[in-house]
A and B are shown apart, each in its own frame.
Chain A
Amino acid sequence: MHLILFLLFAGLCLAGAINLLLQSHPINSALSLIVVMTSLAVLYLLLGAEFLAAAQVIVYAGAVMVLFTFVIMLLNAGREEHTLGSRAARTVGFPAVAAILAILATVILHIQGLGTATMQDGITSTEDLSTILFTKLLLPFEVTSVLILIAILGAVALARRGDGDTERLAGK
């Protein structure tokens, strides 16, 4: 049962990712990305991480992707034109990507080895997750929130400056 679900949603995830690259219209690409995000949530659920799955749907498939589609709709972005791409990119690009991926994979495998993940009925409760988050992983957790705070401050600063400029221009 788990295996069937895994294959189904892993396939859906990959299909969405490939479709994301192939589609020429930005909104179709954005929708494919939503499919990818949602199938990832199901994969998390199969690993027993239910809170993570719900957060994935709410935050990524919900909020973030709504903003993406919102921006695409607001800019009224049209169909992209596919070019054949430069010859240099094709001759150098693909081998380079393969090489980088190979190096990354080797390094990660060398350090961590192939971990095992089991699909299971058991579910990590939200309580356990938060206990770990606030004891063992407190520092990374807080540092991440500071990072997000900095991003918010940056956004506010950028928006502020634009506002002030128009006011000054209007004053003149």
Chain B
Amino acid sequence: MNLLYFFIWSLLKVIVVTVVMLLGVAYTVLLERKLVGRIQNRWGPSRVGPFGLLQPLVDGAKSFLKEDIIPTAVDKPLYLLAPMIALGCALISIAVVPFGDPGIAVSGFRLFQISDVNIGLLVILGITSIGVYGVALAGWSSNNKYSLLGSLRSSAQLVSYELALGLSLVGVVLRAGSLNLRVIVESQASKGLLTWNIFGGLQIFAFFIYLMAAYAETNRSPFDLPEAESELTAGYHTEYSSMKFAMFFMAEYANMITVGCVATMLFLGGWTSPLGNLLPTPQNIVLRSLLPIFWFVLKVFSFLFLYVWVRGTLPRFRYDQLMNFGWRYLLPLAILNIVGTSLWLAYK
């Protein structure tokens, strides 16, 4: 009975979170189109629904209805598997993210986190590293030189920047003394903004290293070389059409959201309020459960905003610059940050 209860609760949480995540992906796309539009002094989508708000749904329907073309020369099993790996891995990592107050639970089941894993951070890193295969296999199985070049670039880029990304998080882990995301968030909770890792924790360098490595990890501008349209047509997803292309597209935006969630939890205090104890904790249970979610969503939203802003502003790197930057600057800086943080903690 207990197992059944657990199963039903988990299933419910998974369904709700997946639906919310997919909606989030759809509206991140709209956010990007709107914002980039405004940056380039035009409106962006504005016809479908009020302010173009229904545009993502129409786009989704369009992707479903388009003809699905499978080129004859592709390696079919891998060609079909690749988008599934990409989207699957992008969606799974949200499972360990605590996006609300974990204190709120119905008969022992935390409402705002699917599963509370001791090594949550490593789970996210692990799933991200598996997600690389989606891109790599897509390029290889497409049997197209642009796709292959795109996926080669992408694999090399992901492997290089994963190091800097992982190392930049070590400082935070050292401070919290745990890999559990809930514990990391709670360790920054006491005084609001002042105890966030980015300010109070003096992890501001780590935050910027993470920011840049994360842009590279998600293949986003200015590191979007795997799909540089002026050189590679569309990179690894050149041969994909219809819903399969949409799956890659969704995976990219889901990865952006995940990266934003990780940044929020590790550097920006997660679901805790930036005002700390200045605001009294509301007694009303509904308000008490919704307020942390509001803060969390707000932080992730600002991160996504920054993402789009950067995309609208910066030109693309050249490939050798990208590799130089990752290995010669970000990686040593991340290692220095670890040494500095450990010395500081030892001194204290």
Contact = CB atoms under 8 A, between A and B. Distances in A.
Contact of B126 (A27, A31, A58): A58
A61 B130 contact: yes
Interface in B162-212: 162, 166, 179
Contacts of A61: 126, 129-130
A158 to B, nearest CB: 17
Majority-rule SS of B interface residues:
helix
B155 to A, nearest CB: 5
Contact of B119 (A27, A51, A62): A51
A58 B118 contact: no
Majority-rule SS of A interface residues:
helix
B309 interface: no
Nearest to A74: B152
A144 interface: no
Interface residues of B, number: 27
Contact of B118 (A50, A55, A57, A67): A50
A63 B155 contact: no
B118 A66 contact: no
A137 B166 CA distance: 25
Interface in B126-160: 126-127, 129-130, 132-133, 136-137, 139-140, 148, 151-152, 155-156, 158-159
B80 interface: no
Contacts of A51: 119, 122
A141 interface: no
A37 B340 CA distance: 35
Interface of B: 78, 117-119, 122-123, 125-127, 129-130, 132-133, 136-137, 139-140, 148, 151-152, 155-156, 158-159, 162, 166, 179
**Nearest 8 A/B pairs, CB to CB:** A62-B129, A54-B122, A57-B126, A58-B126, A70-B155, A73-B140, A54-B119, A66-B132
